[in-house]
């Protein structure tokens, strides 16, 4: 039996492909090994070359520094010899001080530019040039340095070269004490030889004489500064941009960096307090390697091209064209065009494949139609169940309550993972929250219902938001087999006082709209998401809401809504919209409608990617009694009269009145003494007396002084004798002992200290 011709062709094609793979692999390995060996050798040679040039630079630096030191010592010694000689001339012939000709003759003989002699007061009595005659050497720091010579006969000094105050020219002075009487003998000269030697020895000129390769260079750095560098076409700006002067790069000793648009290999060595760095362009480092590898590349390319052409002609005609046509049809099918038919018949294999694909697509169309109808019905039912599980978005409470609450939810799909909840725990406490489950669809909705039920039950027990999060997190983690998690923000509002106790489990910070029109995000420290880690701990925070304040809870579907350009709605735009509509005439329901409308307009038709859930709470509590006083100790009497008046009117006992007066006096005294160290300022005091049940007195102090939290001060050790205790801290200690609750906040550039005293049960 003879095999069909096309069967033989298939085997031949398979063989050619495997042969091509083996040849290509062999050449790739040969090329790769050769390339790696040549690269390593080239790098080692380059490092050796750079280190040799660095060694040359070090030797040159040592030689020039030694020469400069010897020249400086010789110059100073010669200057002192001349100064001593001039002092000897004066001792032998005091009359030469009155002779200009003799002074000029001595100046020329000593080969100096200036001669000066002072009296016992430091006033120059003889000078060349003459204009210095009568000069007071104490009038300038440079000349005043020689004044000790008046009282010290052994005084000798050679100053370092300095710029003269008159013409800013480099000049050097040497001076000794007069021998004949108290005074100063001084010579001055231009240190040309020393300056020339210093210029030659200047480290800034050392590196310019060294070059590595064609474009390599030696660079000398000190204290993150590039002192000297050489090399062709290198600029200091490019070297700084390449971090050549940074310790974290130099400590690597051998590194690579880009200078300008070219890569360099660098070697750094420490020399005294300098870094000597050598750099060499990598293209010069790899010149020999590239030439060797280039030959291999040419040979490999020719061989690969020949093999590729021979194989591709055979494979293209029989296999590739058919595969392309099938892939084109499959691309249309996977894009949703289930009416596409595959018709490739150049071989029996392709005929069978086309027939199988077409049959599979037909069966898939029928299954999709049936499944879509069933899923639509199930999702609609699930949406109804989910919405029914949430509380009324516009609740009406049976009793008179000092707050208004409204909510809205717009899911991205039929069902979502967002939810909100609230509960009036008793006549004085409202629990409310918002949450967002990771993911969407039915799994997220089921996880949402379970989590909501758990949080609601824990809230009914009267736990704090922090404790609710910790207990619920442990239970969620214990049975979380899907790996989902929940972000949540929760608060409990004390209706009588406006005190809000809250906690955050990885959720977006709520927006607080103040009654005065300002706003801020409540960025309390967030904890980990619920369901993330069983041992997670959460932090509770508290603040006070004023009558008219609104707090807006939201999920990230609001701030992460996108328009067709891909821009996000973002927190800033959200805050601007809220501030615009934060008016007393705008109800909570209207406020939510404005948010949803603003997000919809911003999206401009773009598909909603995430659920959008909102909850707003407006606090309508009673306004406390307020007083503003200058922050001065003299105003304590006014504060005491204010408290006495309102506490007595409310029938507060004398004992509690005395305690409040003492606490208020200590806090106000602290503000008066420390809040405004450089200027005058005011202190605001508010008093709120809440009747029973659960009666309390809330005393709040506000100032615009320097930020300071008195509650962080360590309490004094009252067991120590009075004379051994540190000064301060006792007043705040007494306040904390007297009051039942103390809370410090820093908001809107204000220190806010809130003191709470609970009234005894009647």
Answer whether the bond into residue 739 is a cis peptide, omega within 30°.
no
Q: Which of 619, 651, 680 is the last residue of a domain?
A: 619
What is the model's pLDDT at position 683? 94
Specify whether 535 is located in the same domain as 661. no
Give the model confidence (pLDDT) of 605-621 as tens digits.
Answer: 888 778 889 999 988 77
Specify whether 542 is located in the same domain as 403. yes
Q: What is the CATH number for 603?
A: 3.60.40.10
Report CA Rg, the chain: 45
Specify whether 534 is located in the same domain as 471. yes
Does residue 354 belong to any structural domain of this protein? Answer: no
Specify whether 582 is located in the same domain as 701. no
Does residue 602 belong to any structural domain of this protein? Answer: yes
Structure tokens at 391: 């509380």
Q: Look at residue 257 and tell me whether its pLDDT is greater than 80.
A: yes
Q: Look at residue 461 and tell me whether its pLDDT is greater than 90.
A: yes
Specify whether 604 is located in the same domain as 645. no
Specify whether 640 is located in the same domain as 575. no
Give the model confidence (pLDDT) of 718-736 as tens digits.
Answer: 555 555 555 555 788 889 9
Query: 678-689: buried (b, 16+ CB within 10 Å) or exposed (e) per residue?
Result: eeebbbbbbbbb
Q: What is the CATH number for 281?
A: 3.40.1840
Residue 514 CA, distance from chain mean position: 30
Report the sign of the C-alpha dihedral through residues 252, 253, 254, 257, in that order.
positive
Interval 276-291 mean pLDDT: 81
Q: Which DSSP string corresponds to 180-221?
A: SSS-EEEEEE--HHHHHHHHHH-GGGTGGG---TTT-EEEEE
What is the model's pLDDT at position 463? 94
Specify whether 570 is located in the same domain as 466. yes
Residue 293 CA, distance from chain mean position: 46
Over the chain, what is the mean pLDDT? Answer: 83
Q: Look at residue 471 and tell me whether its pLDDT is greater than 90.
A: yes
Specify whether 610 is located in the same domain as 464. yes
Provide the pLDDT confidence category of residue 1 given band limits of 50, 70 and 90: very low
Give the model confidence (pLDDT) of 730-758 as tens digits.
Answer: 788 889 999 998 889 888 889 999 998 98
What is the model's pLDDT at position 2? 34
Interval 210-215 mean pLDDT: 78
Q: Look at residue 408 and tell me whether its pLDDT is greater than 70.
A: yes
Instruction: Give the number of other Cβ atoms within 10 Å of residue 653's Cβ.
Output: 11
Residue keyed to tokens 């609609």: 380
Query: What is the number of structural domains in the chain?
Result: 3
Specify whether 600 is located in the same domain as 643. no
What is the model's pLDDT at position 536? 92
Specify whether 555 is located in the same domain as 505. yes
Give the model confidence (pLDDT) of 332-350 as tens digits.
Answer: 778 777 777 777 777 777 7
Does residue 225 belong to any structural domain of this protein? Answer: yes
Q: Which of 567, 596, 619 is the last residue of a domain?
A: 619
Query: By 3-state DSSP, what share of the chain in percent is helix, strand and coil, each rounded to 5?
Result: 45, 25, 30
Query: What is the greatest pairwise CA distance in the chain?
Result: 140
**Domain span including residue 215:** 202-285
Does residue 306 belong to any structural domain of this protein? Answer: no
Residue keyed to tokens 């020719």: 302
d(CA 595, CA 434): 16
Most confident of 282-286, 405-409, 745-749: 405-409
Structure tokens at 511: 């927006």
Provide the pLDDT confidence category of residue 3 given band limits of 50, 70 and 90: very low
3-state class (DSSP) for residue 167: coil
Does residue 439 belong to any structural domain of this protein? Answer: yes
State the alpha helices, DSSP H only, in 221-347: 236-241, 247-250, 282-285, 287-315, 321-334
Under a CB-based contact definition with an 8 Å cutoff, are residues 207 and 200 in contact? no
Does residue 104 belong to any structural domain of this protein? Answer: no
Does residue 44 belong to any structural domain of this protein? Answer: no
Specify whether 409 is located in the same domain as 532. yes
Q: Which of 575, 590, 619 is the last residue of a domain?
A: 619
Q: Look at residue 190 and tell me whether its pLDDT is greater than 60.
A: yes
Specify whether 580 is located in the same domain as 716. no
Q: What is this structure's pTM?
A: 0.45
Which position has the higher pLDDT, 198 or 246?
246
Q: Look at residue 694 and tell me whether its pLDDT is greater than 80.
A: no
Does residue 530 belong to any structural domain of this protein? Answer: yes
């Amino acid at each position: 039996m003879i095999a069909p011709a096309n069967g033989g062709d298939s085997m031949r094609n398979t063989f050619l492909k495997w042969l091509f793979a083996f040849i290509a692999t062999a050449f790739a390995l040969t090329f790769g090994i050769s390339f790696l060996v040549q690269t390593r050798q080239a790098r080692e040679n380059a490092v050796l070359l750079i280190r040799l040039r660095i060694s040359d630079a070090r030797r040159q630096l040592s030689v020039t520094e030694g020469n400069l030191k010897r020249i400086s010592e010789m110059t100073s010694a010669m200057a002192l010899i001349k100064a001593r000689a001039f002092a000897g001339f004066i001792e032998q012939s005091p009359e030469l001080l009155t002779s200009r000709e003799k002074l000029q003759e001595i100046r020329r003989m000593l080969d100096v530019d200036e001669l000066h002699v002072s009296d016992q007061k430091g006033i120059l009595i003889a000078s060349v040039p003459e204009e210095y005659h009568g000069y007071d050497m104490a009038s300038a720091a440079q000349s005043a340095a020689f004044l000790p010579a008046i009282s010290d006969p052994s005084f000798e000094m050679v100053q370092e070269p300095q710029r003269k105050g008159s013409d800013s020219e480099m000049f050097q002075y040497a001076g000794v004490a007069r021998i004949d009487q108290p005074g100063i003998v001084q010579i001055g000269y231009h240190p040309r030889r020393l300056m020339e030697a210093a210029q030659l020895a200047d480290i800034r000129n050392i590196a310019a004489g060294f070059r590595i390769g064609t474009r390599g260079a030696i660079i000398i750095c000190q204290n993150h500064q590039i002192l000297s560098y050489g090399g062709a076409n290198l600029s200091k700006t490019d070297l700084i941009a390449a971090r050549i002067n940074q310790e974290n790069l130099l400590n690597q000793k051998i590194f690579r960096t880009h200078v300008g648009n070219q890569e360099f290999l660098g070697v750094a060595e420490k020399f005294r307090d300098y870094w000597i760095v050598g750099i060499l362009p990598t293209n010069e480092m790899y010149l020999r390697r590239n030439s060797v590898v280039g030959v291999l590349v040419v040979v490999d390319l020719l061989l690969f091209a020949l093999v590729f052409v021979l194989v591709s002609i055979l494979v293209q005609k029989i296999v590739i064209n058919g595969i392309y046509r099938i892939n084109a049809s499959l691309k249309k099918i996977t894009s949703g065009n289930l009416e596409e038919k595959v018709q490739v018949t150049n071989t029996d294999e392709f005929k069978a494949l086309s027939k199988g694909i077409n049959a599979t697509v037909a069966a898939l169309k029928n299954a999709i139609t049936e499944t879509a109808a069933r899923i639509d019905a199930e999702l609609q039912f699930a949406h109804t169940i989910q919405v029914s599980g949430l509380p009324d978005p516009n609740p009406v409470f049976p009793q008179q309550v000092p707050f208004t609450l409204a909510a809205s939810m717009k899911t991205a799909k039929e069902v979502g993972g967002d939810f909100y909840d609230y509960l009036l725990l008793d006549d004085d406490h409202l629990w409310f929250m918002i949450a967002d489950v990771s993911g969407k669809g039915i799994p997220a909705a089921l996880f949402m219902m379970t989590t909501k039920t758990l949080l609601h039950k824990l809230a009914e027990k009267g736990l704090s938001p922090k404790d609710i999060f910790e207990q619920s997190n442990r239970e969620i983690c214990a049975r979380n087999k899907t790996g989902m998690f929940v972000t949540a923000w929760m608060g409990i509002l004390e209706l009588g006082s406006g005190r809000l106790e809250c906690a955050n489990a990885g959720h977006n910070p709520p927006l607080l709209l103040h009654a005065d029109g300002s706003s801020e995000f409540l960025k309390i420290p967030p904890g980990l998401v619920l369901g993330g880690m069983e041992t997670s701990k959460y932090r509770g925070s508290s603040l006070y809401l004023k009558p008219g304040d609104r707090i807006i809870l939201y999920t990230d579907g609001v701030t992460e809504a996108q328009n067709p350009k891909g821009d996000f709605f973002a927190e800033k735009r959200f805050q601007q919209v809220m501030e615009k509509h934060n008016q007393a005439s705008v109800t909570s329901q209207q406020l939510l409608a404005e948010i949803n409308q603003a997000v919809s307009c911003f999206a401009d038709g773009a598909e909603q990617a995430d659920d959008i859930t909102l909850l707003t709470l407006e606090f309508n509590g009673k306004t406390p009694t307020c007083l503003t006083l200058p922050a001065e100790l003299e105003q304590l009497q006014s504060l005491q009269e204010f408290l006495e008046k309102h506490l007595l009117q409310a029938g507060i006992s004398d004992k509690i009145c005395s305690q409040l007066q003492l606490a208020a006096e200590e806090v106000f005294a602290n503000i008066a003494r420390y809040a405004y160290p450089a200027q005058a300022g005011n202190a605001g005091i508010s008093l709120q007396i809440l009747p029973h049940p659960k009666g309390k007195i809330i005393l709040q102090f506000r100032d615009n002084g320097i930020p300071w939290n008195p509650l962080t001060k360590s309490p004094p050790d009252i067991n120590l004798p009075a004379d051994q205790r540190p000064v301060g801290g006792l007043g705040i200690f007494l306040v904390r002992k007297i009051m039942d609750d103390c809370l410090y906040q820093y908001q809107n550039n204000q220190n806010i200290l809130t003191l709470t005293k609970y009234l005894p049960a009647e």
